[in-house]
Amino acid sequence: MSNTLYWLHCGGCGGDTMSLLNLDSPNVLKLLEILNIDILWHPSLSSISQGDYQETIISILSGEQDLDILCIEGAVIRGPGGSGMYELHNRKPKKDLVAALAKKAKYVIAVGTCASFGGIGTEGEVEATGLQFYRREEGGFLGKDFRSLNGLPVINLPGCPCHSEVIAGTLSAICFDLDISLSEFNSPLQWYGIMVHQGCTRNEYHEYRVEEADFGQRGCLFFHMGCRGPLTHGPCNKFLWNGRSSKTSVGVPCFGCTDPEFPQSHPFFVTRNIAGTPLELPEGVDRAHYQAYKGMAASAAPERLKERKTRI
């Protein structure tokens, strides 16, 4: 028996779809075959007529057509003034369609940071929100008590965009009826139970506070360049992009795109600090111990690190 999937694109750029289409092993078409997924609608993979598209929606909402997996890409747009009229579907607020489909789905997945937490439109007139979170605040559009037909909250897959392996892995877990352990932000711990910092090729530089103040260098980017790797949960250094790279491995600071507060209100690529100590410390570290440890660590840094003689 096939697993039906409906993918609705709301207020977002489409980057998560582009990421999914970039899935390599297996490619997205092979993945759908392996998981026996029947796509009822996806804006980049479906070719049905407008009439058939409308009939599909009607059959889902009437209960005639089962909906196993509902994927939402992009934030839910509530503006102006809560009306939702900034984003329409058949001349009605698209948010109403989101709510109606969510009630019919066995699983609801928020694909990307905008769908998960609201993203870039949360502070503007569009009144964007995530499906079950508004930034860090539980509730969002569907409310904190929402549960899909299978009894789960919205499964959040943040990222700007979300990595294709995370999307594929989550769909696989659902289709094979595997347990999905979720974090406090309803993200699968399999991928979001680690920090971006874990697996970073610059960890030794970080431990000895060998710092950089420019892009593309070999040292740590946390102390001056605003790298959020030690602050952000995500698999970016576990699943490399295109199987080859990540931001930090090529000398670009992580900007925390999986975090509920992304995008941050203060400037990127700058570390806010007081007397050289970052305002935001690595998760789980208190300020007093950090200051004592980092001073000693910098003094003890091996010459090979100071001279940047190790490979990136």
CA atoms within a 13 Å half-sphere pointing along the CA-CB vector of 172: 12
The residues, ordered by sequence, that sit 6+ positions from 156 with a Cβ below 8 Å of its Cβ are 110, 115, 116, 117, 130, 131, 132, 133, 185, 186, 187
What is the C-alpha to C-alpha distance for residues 261 and 239, in angstroms, rounded to an integer? Answer: 22
Segment among 104-108, 226-230, 249-253, 286-290 with least mean pLDDT: 286-290
Confidence band for 43, pLDDT divided at 50, 70 and 90: very high
pLDDT at 226 over 90: yes
Phi, psi torsion values for 96, nearest 5 degrees: -70, -35
Is the pLDDT higher at 40 or at 297?
Answer: 40
pLDDT given at position 290: 86
Phi, psi torsion values for 107, nearest 5 degrees: -135, 140
User: What is the mean predicted confidence (pLDDT) over 35-59?
Assistant: 96
Domains and CATH numbers, the chain: 3-190 (3.40.50.700), 194-312 (4.10.480.10)
pLDDT at 91 over 50: yes
pLDDT at 311 over 70: no
Nearest to 158 by CA among 266, 12, 44: 12
The residues, ordered by sequence, that sit 6+ positions from 137 with a Cβ below 8 Å of its Cβ are none
pLDDT given at position 312: 47
What is the C-alpha to C-alpha distance for residues 243 and 72, in angstroms, rounded to an integer? Answer: 26
pLDDT given at position 45: 95
pLDDT given at position 279: 93
